Each structure stands twice: as C-alpha cells, then as structure tokens.
C-alpha cells in the first residue's frame, strides 16, 4: 500500500466515524438549556454610539478631521482646475499650430502628464495622512474611554461593563452611559481649560 492509499483509507475512516458520531448525537434527545442566573455579579453597559455622539473630545476631533478633509479637497480641486484650464489652453495651441515643433508640443504634453501624476500622488498622500490621523484619533478616543471606565469602576465595583452594541436585551437600569459621558466631558473640559 502506498502513501496515497493509506491517506485515503485514514480519511475515509475518520469521515465514517465522524458521521456515525454526528448521527448518534442527533438521535440523542436534546436537553433544554435553561438560562444561567449568576447571582452576585454587578453588570452595566454603555451605549457607545450615544457616548460618542455626545462626547466633546470626539466631536472636536471629528470637526478637526472634517476641516482637514475639506481643506485637502479644496486644495486638490483648485490645483486640478488650474491644471485642466492650462491643459485646455495647451490643446488649443496644438490645434492652432502655435508650437514651433512637434517635439515642443510633446514636451508640453509630458510636462502635463507629470503634473497630473504629481496631483494624483498628492491626493494619495492626503488620503493616507487622513487615514493615519483618523486611526490615531480612534486610538486616542478608545484609550481615553477605556482609562476613564477603569477609573470609574474603581469606585463602582462592576464585575462586567459591556457595550450595548453586543446586547439583544438589557434592563435600562444597567445603562451607565450618562454617568460615563458626564465624567468624560468633565475631564475633557478641565483639561481643555
């Protein structure tokens, strides 16, 4: 028996055993699992979307990013418009045989291609800068919220604080979003002064 035959035999055996085991499990009566009640745990949740929508630090960073993005877009649009206008003039010159030679016209065409390439590279650079800054801002926000929640929990003693996004249902009494938001905004306003 060669290696390929042995491998096929082993795989077939494993598959048959697996199917047998699955069918035995399917035939066994399923025991209903009751929800597990854990007493003594102190649990709370935070609505992160609501928190971010009202957190002054997040809003300031978002406004700053919007301004940068608009400035980049404006600068690129102005540069693109200028390039398009100059290129249209270049095409008119070609039509009117203004250039002294075809080499001169080709030289101008190459110059426009290089400027267009530089503009595309600048656009990519701006996009990369915005992405890097956005990631850095997300990290800052995450660290600030995490650190505050840890500090908050030192005096409140929760065993578990989770995000509402992962919940299907939770009693509103477990929602500590407003307390966390108030504390974060107070800390940000103190630091801002």
Q: Could you tell me if residue 149 is inside a domain?
A: yes
- Quick check: is 7 in a domain? no
Residue 187 lies in a domain: yes
Beta bridge partners of 46: 163
User: Percent of the chain having pLDDT more than 70?
Assistant: 80
Distance from C-alpha of 90 to C-alpha of 112, rounded to nearest angstrom: 9
**H or E stretch including 137?**
helix 102-156
How does pLDDT run across 60-96, given as a tens digit for each residue? 999 999 999 999 999 999 999 999 999 999 899 888 9
17 within a domain of the structure (yes/no): no
- Quick one: pLDDT at residue 92? 92
Amino acid 14: pLDDT: 38
Please indicate whether residue 99 or residue 2 has the higher confidence score (pLDDT). Answer: 99
> Is residue 187 predicted with pLDDT exceeding 80?
yes
Residue 167 has pLDDT above 50, yes or no: yes
Cα–Cα distances (Å) from 133 to 20, 73, 115, in that order, read 55, 16, 27
* pLDDT at residue 37, rounded to an integer: 54
pLDDT tens digits for range 7-64: 344 334 434 434 444 444 445 455 555 455 567 899 999 999 999 999 999 999 999 9
Q: Which residues contact 148 (CB under 8 A, 6 or more apart)?
A: 180, 183, 184, 187
Question: 11: how many CB neighbours lie within 10 A of its CB?
Answer: 10
Residue 11 counted as domain residue: no
Residues spanned by the domain of 70: 38-192
Residue 10 placed within a domain: no
As for how many domains the chain has, the answer is 1
Could you tell me the CATH number of the domain that includes residue 136? Answer: 3.30.910.20
pLDDT at residue number 31: 52
State pLDDT tens for residues 105-133.
899 999 999 999 999 999 999 999 999 99
Q: Look up residue 136 and give its two tokens.
A: 């850095």
């Amino acid at each position: 028996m060669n290696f390929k035959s042995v491998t096929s035999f082993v795989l077939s055996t494993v598959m048959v055993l697996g199917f047998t085991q699955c069918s035995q499990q399917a035939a066994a009566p399923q025991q209903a699992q009751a929800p597990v009640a854990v007493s003594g745990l102190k649990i709370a949740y935070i609505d992160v979307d609501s928190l971010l929508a009202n957190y002054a630090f997040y809003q300031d960073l978002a406004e700053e990013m919007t301004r940068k993005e608009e400035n980049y877009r404006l600068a690129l649009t102005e540069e693109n418009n200028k390039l398009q206008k100059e290129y249209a003039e270049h095409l008119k010159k070609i039509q009117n045989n203004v250039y002294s030679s075809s080499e001169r016209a080709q030289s101008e065409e190459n110059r426009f291609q290089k400027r267009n390439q530089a503009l595309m590279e600048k656009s990519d650079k701006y996009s990369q800068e915005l992405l890097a800054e956005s990631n850095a801002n997300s990290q800052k926000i995450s660290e600030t919220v995490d650190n505050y929640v840890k500090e908050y929990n030192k005096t409140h003693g929760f065993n578990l604080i989770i995000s509402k996004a992962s919940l299907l249902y939770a009693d509103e009494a477990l929602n500590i979003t407003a307390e966390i938001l108030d504390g974060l905004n107070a800390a940000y306003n103190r630091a801002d002064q």
